[in-house]
Every structure is written in structure tokens, then in C-alpha cells.
A = this chain, B = another copy of it.
Amino acid sequence: MKNFRLTVQYDGKRYSGWQRQGNTDKTVQGKIEQILSRMTGHAVEINGAGRTDAGVHARAQVANGKMNTDKTAAEIMAYLNQYLPADIAITACAEMPERFHARLNAKGKRYCYRLCDSGVPDVFTRSYVCAWDNRLDESAMREAAAYLIGTHDYRAFSSVNKRFKKSTVRTITALEIERKGQELWISVQGTGFLYNMVRILVGTLVEVGEGKRAPQSMPDILISRDRQQAGMTMPPQGLMLEEIFY
């Protein structure tokens, strides 16, 4: 069995997320596995580095999968791109050592959340941007973001309610807010993220940007470890998995 690494770009709009769910093929993982299984003649399972939610996009998701095949990496990439729908593309493929695992070996991830908070949202990027009615105060948001960088227990910023068995401590290495014309781009980089963590972080920052929360209230939210203390979960369409670091 050879181990291949795939770099995957997708528009998440039509999909119920990355991760295969039973027999449905409305997942990105399911679509790719189906084609690889047909190509190799045996069941292929792939591991994605980031399990993006329904409606979330990826510019460069990374996955790996083991296959019995004589095809080269370039041939596998061409085969996949021939059969994948137009909203999923393989942008790179490489053979890797047997031990490479896209999720377990990932050292970090970067996400970007796009909001349009002024003017008329651009028609051509509307599927990748969250339209927001109120103009946001990005300097207050930057002040709040500074409290969220570092190594913290982010349990308050996660959707899972049941008691966590595993650690909810993560490290955010960068959290940048940039104005790009009518839009705000919120870029979050870290070692790993809890379920819905980026969308709740952004939702909390948006509430700061609207003046509903003080930037200085961030440490109390972290300390509370209580989901109720953090802000709303932002809708998925503005979120893009940008990069996986190894």
C-alpha cells in the first residue's frame, strides 16, 4: 500500500461537511473516497487534517490515504479532478512515507473568516462572505483579539456541551483582523481548534465590534469555561480553512 497526500480545495456550500457520514455522499471526504475506491478497486479511507463543518470552505485542506495502485501521484490527481464535481478540486498530490497522517501530523491550521460590514456585498464572492448589517469597530475587535492569543483553555468557545474527556487547552498563535475594502478578514492560526471554536471566536469578536461587549471582557470568558459566556456561533459560509502546517 502506498500512502498519498492530497491537497483539497472545495466550496462547502453543497456539502454537509468534510467528514463522511454513513452512506451519504454529500460530504467532501465521501466524494473523494468514492472515486479513489473505484480507481483502485478496493475501499479507500482518507484522513482529513481539518474536519470542516457543513457549509465551510477550504482553500487547502490536506488529507492522506493508503492505496494499492500503480498510478503516479500526478495520475491520481488527474483521475480525481476528472471525476470530482466542479466545486471540489485536488490542487496537489504526493506520495508520502507510510507513517504520514494528515491529521495526527498537523502542527497547526489557519482559518479565515470574511465579513462584509459596509456597502453592498459583492455578487461574485457572496458564497464566501458573511453579510453583516452593522459596521464593525475593528480596533475594538483587535483589542479583544489580543486577549485570545496564547495558550488557554478555550472550553467557553466550543459548542460541545457534554463533559470533555480530552483537554480543551489549545494555542492560538495569531489572530489578525484586516480591513479589505468593504470587508473584514479575520485570520486565526493555531495548533488545533475545538468544535465550532473559530466560528464562536469570530462571533464573540463581532459582538465586540458592535459595541455589545468590552474587549476587556475576554479573559473572564476564557476563565468561565462556559459556552454561555461567549458570543454567537457565526454562520458557516464566511469560514475558509486556508492552510495546514506540518
Contact = CB atoms under 8 A, between A and B. Distances in A.
**How many copies of the shown chain assemble into the complex?**
2
A246 interface: no
Interface stretch (A81-89, A143-151, A208-216): A81-89
A10 B128 CA distance: 16
B120 A88 contact: no
A9 interface: yes
Given A81-B120, A91-B120, A86 B126 contact: yes
A59 B86 CA distance: 23
Contact of A9 (B81, B122, B127, B128): B122
Contact of A88 (B88, B119, B123): B123
A128 B123 contact: no
Contacts of A81: 120
A209 to B, nearest CB: 23
B10 A123 contact: yes
A121 interface: yes
A123 B11 contact: yes
A30 to B, nearest CB: 17
A87 B90 CA distance: 27
Contacts of A59: 124
Nearest to A8: B123
A123 B90 contact: no
A208 to B, nearest CB: 27
Contacts of A90: 120
13 contacts: A9-B120, A9-B122, A10-B123, A11-B123, A57-B124, A86-B123, A86-B126, A88-B123, A89-B120, A90-B120, A91-B119, A91-B120, A124-B127
